[in-house]
Each structure stands twice: as C-alpha cells, then as structure tokens.
Amino acid sequence: MANSIKTVLLLGALTGLLMFIGGLIGGRGGVYIAFIFAVIMNFGSYWFSDKIVLRMYRAQEVSESSAPGLFNIVRNLALKANLPMPRVFIIPEETPNAFATGRNEKHAVVAVTEGIMRILNKEELEGVIAHELSHIKHKDMLIGSIAATIAGAISMLATMAQWTAILGGGSSSDDDDHGGIIGLIAMAILAPIAATIIQMTISRSREYLADAGAAGITKNPYGLAAALEKLTRASQVVPLDANPSTAHMFIVNPLSGKAFMNLFSTHPPLEERIARLRSMKPY
C-alpha cells in the first residue's frame, strides 16, 4: 500500500514539474504540445512492447509440450494470481534473468532466459515467475509508460528552453536578460535530471511492490529471496548484453554495477530487496 501511494505521489510530482516548466517556457500551449509529442512517442512502445522486446532478445515462444516444467509453473501461478494465462517465451541467453511485458493482462508475456532455468530450483523459479506476474497484475507496464511519457514531455520542454536561450541570447546585453538566460539554461539542464530521478524512483518502488506481490502469490517469500541471491552472483559472472531502454523490465538490472548511481537505477539495491523478503513470514 505504501509503495502504491508513493507511486501516485511521484507521478503527481512529475506532472507538477511538467506544468511548472511548461508555464515558464510556453504557457499551457507549450505543455500541451510537448505532452502530445511524448504520448505519440511512447504509444508505440507501450502498444507493441511485447513484439519489439521479444524480437530484440530473439525470444522463442514455448508450449506445454516443449517446456512442460516452465509452462506448468506459469499456469499454476497465473491461476493463483487470478490472471489469464500469459504467453511464455525462452530467451537463448546464458545470463540468468527474466521479464514480463504486454499492454494488459490479456496480452501479457513472461520471458525467461535459458540461464535462469539452469541455476534455479523449482521454488526459486516460482518466486521469479510470481514476481513477473505481479508486474502484470499491478499494470506496471502502463504505469511505466505514463511516467516515461511525462518525463519525455519534460525533456522536450527542456530542449525548447535551450533553443530559446540560444536564439534569444544575443538579443540584449542587459544584465537582467543575461540572468534570465542563465536561469533558463540551468532549468533546461536540471529539469530532465529531476524528471529522470523521479521516473527511476517510480520504477524502484514498483520492484518492491512486485517482490511483495510475488510473496503473496507463492505464500513463500524465501523462494524469491534465494533466487535473487543466485541471480546477483550469476549476473556478475555472465553479464547480459541488454539494451538500456529495456533494463527496467528485467527482474535483476542487467546494467547494474558498483559504479552505477542508485538515484539513476531502475532497480532497488538487491541487498535491500533480499533483506525485505527475508524479513517476511511465510503465509
């Protein structure tokens, strides 16, 4: 519940930032134009995300006959989560990881790598699959797309501000004008950074929510905790060649590393996720 409230507040903060910057640059007209362009840019990603991402990672759809163990785990957990049976895919990668995608519950996809199936036992794999089903149940693809749309609109407004400052910079030598130009440039630089930080914070809060949701589906938080411990070690040994635009989708951040700033990470620290799961009692 706390993470759901946090998501609403953060989306509100993003919207407020968008309105504030739009008002400074172009009034309501500037906000509307930037928002419309951002919606158009993100609509395709949201609507066709399953096809785009699955093709990107050469994922192959499997059936009950070709992968009975995995298929049965997904089906049983989908029933427990009161979800329609999603399509199931296997990614030909040794790096252990998994993700869910699709625009809604009826068009959902769960994908796992070959590597994750090799290193996890049944209880651990159930925890991972339940985490991905929790993302589907909580409509995280839609929430992520909304956040990306607002953040994209802010970035567009910031670009407009930069060009406004550049094109108007030589029109006057007045100190106040220069002060305004400097402020405009500063805002154009800082606003997208602030939007990205808020967007990434939303992503991290959804990961915590999916972890808790997985524990609720399986009635066993320790399975997912054990899986995350294995994935932490294995992903460092065999890193995934992932596109940064899809990093937020995976259960373990394929781009994570000690030098990666937490503020700009799509995932919470794995140590914190594991500790939270370990502190839960089995249902």
DSSP 107-125: G-EEEEEHHHHHH--HHHH
- pLDDT confidence of residue 259: 43
Q: What's the CA gap between 38 and 264, in Å, rounded?
A: 21
User: pLDDT for 20-67, tens place per residue?
Assistant: 666 666 666 666 776 676 666 667 666 777 788 899 899 999 999 999
Per mean pLDDT, which range of 65-69, 86-90, 147-151, 275-279 is the poorest? 147-151
Residue 199's Cβ-count burial label (10 Å; 0-12, 13-18, 19+) is buried
User: pLDDT for 76-108, tens place per residue?
Assistant: 999 999 999 999 999 999 999 999 998 889 999
Higher pLDDT, 272 or 246: 272
Higher pLDDT, 40 or 140: 140
Task: Name the active-site residue from 124, 126, 132, 207.
Answer: 132
User: pLDDT for 193-220, tens place per residue?
Assistant: 888 888 888 889 999 999 999 999 999 9
- pLDDT confidence of residue 103: 83
Count structural domains, the chain.
1
Tokens at residue 41, please? 């840019």
Task: Report the run of H or E that residue 157 belongs to, with start and end.
Answer: helix 140-168
User: pLDDT for 166-175, tens place per residue?
Assistant: 666 544 445 4
- pLDDT confidence of residue 172: 46
How many helices (H) and strands (E) the chain has is answered by 10, 4
Domain that holds residue 135: 1-283
- At residue 69, does pLDDT exceed 90? yes
- pLDDT confidence of residue 248: 79
Tell me, yes or no, if 229 is annotated catalytic: no
- pLDDT confidence of residue 171: 46
- pLDDT confidence of residue 212: 96
